Structure 1
Amino acid sequence: MSEPVFVIHGVGNRDARAFATTVAAVRAAVGGDMELVPVHWGDLGADDRFVDLALPARPGGLRDADGAGPDPEDGVADASPEALLSALSAPSASSGGGGPARAGGLPGPVRDAVREGLDGTEDSGLRGGPAGPGGPDGEDVLAELADAWPSTRWLSLTDDPVLLREAGTAIARAVADAGAQETDPDWGGLRGPGSGGGGLRGVVRRRLADLDRVAGAAMQALAGRVNHGLRTRFGPGTTRFLGDVLVYQRHRERIHARVRERIAAVDPALGSGPDRPVRVVAHSLGGVIAVDMATARVPLWTSSLLTFGSQAAYFHLCDPRGGSLPAYAGGGPVPLPPSLARWTNLWQPLDVLAFAASRVFTLDDGTPPVDVPLPHSASAGLWTHSVYWDLPELAHAIRAAMPPPA
């Protein structure tokens, strides 16, 4: 049997038994006689039991006063339109880069859609076609629409061209349909705005109010699900990640000592020199730990390193890791010492905590670490930082990256 491969976990692993079970499952997937040894340091990580106390109350109803978010089925009906649209919109030129802002007039996409619809263009799809003689033309409708637009609660805050164009098309359709039904007692005729709830004014305002309610309901439902998804999927993982990173930066020596103790329990000579290097598989912050130890002044000699969802390159660019690694100066990749002989780095395209290494570092033989993008599984959802353990590609990568020591 060849010497073992040591597996170092990342953030948020507090249960040593659960981690051992995970490693055992990966070992079964790898097959053969390769021994995987779990290295658990999570009991030295952050105490994240009470971090909810530090989370601010949600602005505009996005988080309850007691710290709990809304039920995913309830939406966020108490959220202001400004808060929801700011959360759901990317900064744009029209919003000044700070989220959507109430427009000073009728948006261009609405105007264009109304004119096209009432002109009977091929794209309008309106039954009534252009307004008949004496009926309102596009400018009559636009005048009424411009007068009513500021009263909308949701539409006047968005700058999304698709939504605005669809709203304009719907208004044009309503006017054309009503114009084709001159016998309708609620319709005051096409020649004037009418009075009360009838006429052109009534049709425009009723349809615009309907569209505004539908847009608001859709945005609230979407925001509720986004908020719930961010809290339940991204929130805990991000919180644990930040907490463990802070603890690691302060107590790096204690965590390194734990890793060395676990390796020494198998063989005290492993990792002590180029003749007895170790092989390491590491996830997330575990990859940072492995690189830090392999490049320390007194290194853990490592013949093969496989990282996945890791941040070693990113951390070194932001805050040079020290040891035998020079800071990145922009003139080329940072040379790794011979104590880290081989490095394969896996990353998921939707894993926001995974970073590439090949453009930041170069190995002692002049070749870069091997970055391997993994396909995204539709069943993985949005939070993909922990899915690696269950991917068949991980077992394949371990077999490929961990040749027995010479």
Structure 2
Amino acid sequence: MKDPVFVIHGVAQRNREEFTSVVSSLSAAAGVDMVPVHWGDLGAREQFIDAALPTQRSDGETLRDAPGSEPPALAPVFTQVRDEAHQLAHVEAAVRDGLDAQDDDGDEDGDGGLRDLGGGGHHLDPDRIIEYVRTAWADTEWLCRTDDARLLTETGRALAHALLDEAAGDWDDAYAGLRGAGADNESRLRSLVRRRLTDLDRVAGAAVQAVGARLNHAVRSRFGPGTTRFLGDVLVYQRHQAAVHARVRQVIDEVDPDLGRGPDRPVRIAAHSLGGVIAVDMATADTPLWTDSLVTFGSQAAFFHVCDPRGGQLAPYGGGAPVHLPASLRNWTNLWEPLDVLAFAASKVFRLHDGTAPVDVPVNHRASNGMWTHSAYWDLPHVASVIGDVMRQDRSAPLC
């Protein structure tokens, strides 16, 4: 009779009874005896996480930043890359198209047939307006950062229509009241273009911030808790590896204290997420947990080692040849789900002691799992099937 498979959970698993139930279901689906290894009580404290999360301001000061700072990138339509010629080309074309209404014979736009404003023969000059737009463009906060053709075109069209409406007005300071073409008139037109462009800029900024705030809230609500718990447990594990490893060793000793102590009695382990990192760290330590078969799913061992070498018997990864694993880790199968952003491949970074690569196995995405798939592995039949197949293989030869 084979020894049981020890199952090590990953991040954010605080409930021992719940984890025991999950392992029991996985054991039945895989057809192998399993023992849960619960270490979640040693993980990060979650009850005060909300205190560290930023909240949306409610004082109305959402558009302007501190002097010299960059506006927040709340939507992909606004970027830090500026191609003013490209931007103004769209705006200019739309302004010219919009101002063509003043020369139309009809009155489709409701501009009152603005071919002659007040009998003075003074038209809204597109060239002059474009000149004023170019002068004021760099002072916008939002519009000068977008390369979205539709937004730029609509900005130009809205500016043209606003100027035509102003020109058709009969109030005292309306542009229609400026019969001549003197310096004072041009100064008022320049000021009018700048004001309307600023108004449009503020509308664009307010709109994208409203959408961005909702998107930010949705992302935080749906993905934030899982990501936050992941980071919290990773930080705790990095500082308290010894305590977590001792817990794993304790559970194994309760089954048989000889298990994992040498090549003649290796353990079999299935591990999720950070549990896979724990299993690899222990199997490759200077005093290793001798491991015959390891199945990881949604795990980050390769990612962690590339970013920060794990030590023990592992050499750093230099970007060329893979890192050779010691004989104390005989076989490694690594499962990853394509939408799981916390799952990483192992075969490019590592080689087993016999020169073969760990086996990376993709897990098909199920639409019912939604977008956050990091916790979905436990209920996937394919995962249980792979674990069962790997753990039932007969490896009677010693590890070294």
8 Å contact from structure 2 (residues 322, 349) kept in 1: yes
- Provide closer, same or farther for how the CA distance between residues 242 and 193 of structure 1 changes in structure 2, counting only shifts above 3 A: farther
The equivalent of 2:90 in structure 1 is 113
Structure 1: any 5+ residue segments left out of the alignment?
57-62, 64-68, 96-105, 121-125
Percent of pairs with identical residues: 50
Task: Tell me by how many angstroms 1:112 deviates.
Answer: 0.7
Displacement after TM superposition at 1:143 (Å): 2.8
Q: Counterpart of 1:220 in 2: which secondary structure? A: helix
Cross-structure match for 2:317: 328
Q: CA deviation at 1:310?
A: 1.8
Task: Give the match's secondary structure for 1:88.
Answer: coil
Amino acid at match of 2:211: L
Deviation digits for residues 257-289 of structure 1 (CA, Å, limit 9, x no counterpart) = 221222233344433444433221111211111
Q: In structure 2, do the counterparts of structure 1 residues 265 and 76 end up closer, same or farther at CA, with 3 Å as the change threshold?
A: farther
Distance of 1:363 and 1:251 partners within structure 2: 27
* Offset of residue 192 of structure 1: 8.4
Using structure 1 for the length normalisation, give the TM-score.
0.72
Amino acid at match of 1:44: L
What corresponds to 2:62 in structure 1? 79
Q: Classify the secondary structure of the residue corresponding to 1:323.
A: coil
**Shift of residue 381, structure 1, vs aligned partner:** 5.5
Counterpart amino acid of 1:35? D
Query: Structure 2 length as normaliser, TM-score?
Result: 0.73
Q: Look up the SS of the partner of 1:305 in the other structure.
A: strand
SS in 1 for 2:347: coil
Which structure has the larger Rg?
2
Q: Distance in 2 between matches of 1:46 and 1:176?
A: 58
Residue identity matched to 1:111: L
Shift of 1:364: 1.6
Could you tell me which residue of structure 2 aligns to residue 49 of structure 1? 47
Kept after mapping to 2: 8 A contact 1:75/1:225: no
Q: Structure 1 residue 292: deviation in Å?
A: 1.4
Question: Aligned in 2, Cα 1:181/1:94: closer, same or farther, shift over 3 Å?
Answer: closer
Inter-partner Cα distance in structure 2 for 1:148 and 1:172: 17
Q: Which residue of 1 aligns with 2:112?
A: none
Query: Equivalent of 1:162, from 128, 148, 163?
Result: 148
User: Structure 1's 219 and 169: CA in aligned 2 closer, same or farther, altered over 3 A?
Assistant: closer
Residues 311, 355 of structure 1: 8 Å contact kept: yes
> Number of residue pairs matched?
369
Asked whether the 8 Å contact 1:113–1:172 carries over to 2, the reply is no
> What aligned pairs does 1:1-400 form with structure 2 within 5 A after superposition?
3-28=3-28, 30-31=29-30, 33-53=31-51, 55=52, 63=54, 69-70=55-56, 77-82=60-65, 85-88=71-74, 94=81, 107-117=84-94, 135-136=123-124, 138-146=126-134, 149=137, 154-156=141-143, 158-162=144-148, 166-172=151-157, 175=160, 188=176, 208=197, 211-376=200-365, 380=369, 383-400=372-389
SS in 2 for 1:304: strand
Partner Cα separation in structure 1 for residue 254 and residue 315 of structure 2: 32
Query: Which letter maps to 2:36?
Result: P
SS at the partner of 2:321?
coil
- CA shift, 1:78, in A, is 3.9
Tell me if structure 2 keeps the 8 A contact 1:361–1:368. Answer: yes
